[in-house]
Chain A
Amino acid sequence: RKEVEQDPGPFNVPEGATVAFNCTYSNSASQSFFWYRQDCRKEPKLLMSVYSSGNEDGRFTAQLNRASQYISLLIRDSKLSDSATYLCVVNPEGSTLGRLYFGRGTQLTVWP
């Protein structure tokens, strides 16, 4: 079983739509969680961290459900520029840096 599993999509939504991605992780002791964004043929870049209580950054909301071991990312009022692949990332070692596990990514296309 992979450390991090994501629905690869693709998700195709119109501008202004709300879209949500989920990701599950296998190590119940995992401590830190993040979402990355990767544009086509570009490198991944950090989008936001995921905190236990949930957190927002503008139109983006990240949530963590430890009991079910899943992480979600909600994008409200989708923009064309949100089209990208979203990668779920888990750091099982928490406060120390070690191996970061990346999901395969969920592809989002926002159309006009």
Chain B
Amino acid sequence: DAGVIQSPRHEVTEMGQEVTLRCKPISGHDYLFWYRQTMMRGLELLIYFNNNVPIDDSGMPEDRFSAKMPNASFSTLKIQPSEPRDSAVYFCASSLAWLAANTGELFFGEGSRLTVL
């Protein structure tokens, strides 16, 4: 079975450019999460969706960040304009509600490593 698929795996861009990260969750999963990981702050939840509806976006740093989930098999995280402090690894994860609540298991993609120069 395919796991969570993220693209691009690596992105290097210049400050001010728009960045779009993409995620395909595991088929049938009803929760999708976007996390950001840095050395300083660890793994931070940015936003999560349940059945394509955003539930909690309180972790989104500021208005430059936006996320969408137009259907059950696709989500995007957009940064516009990007800044050097946005450099991080961005992970997408999916799960089933009952599975994650009881077992704690989120299925992470391999991450998108973003460098903003």
Residue pair B110, A87 in contact (C-beta under 8 Å): no
Q: How far is the CA of A29 from the CA of B97 in the complex (A)?
A: 20
Interface hits, B64-108 → A, CB 8 Å: 91, 95, 97-98, 100-106, 108
A37 to chain B, nearest CB (A): 11
Which residues of A approach B to under 8 Å, CB–CB?
32-34, 42-46, 49, 87, 89, 91, 93-105
| Residues of chain A within 8 A of B34, CB atoms compared | none
Residue pair A104, B101 in contact (C-beta under 8 Å): no
Q: How far is the CA of A91 from the CA of B33 in the complex (A)?
A: 14
Which residues of B approach A to under 8 Å, CB–CB?
31, 33, 35, 41-45, 48, 55-56, 91, 95, 97-98, 100-106, 108-111
From A34, A44, A49, residue with most partner B Cβ within 10 Å:
A44
| Residues of chain A within 8 A of B103, CB atoms compared | 34, 46, 49
Residue pair A105, B110 in contact (C-beta under 8 Å): no
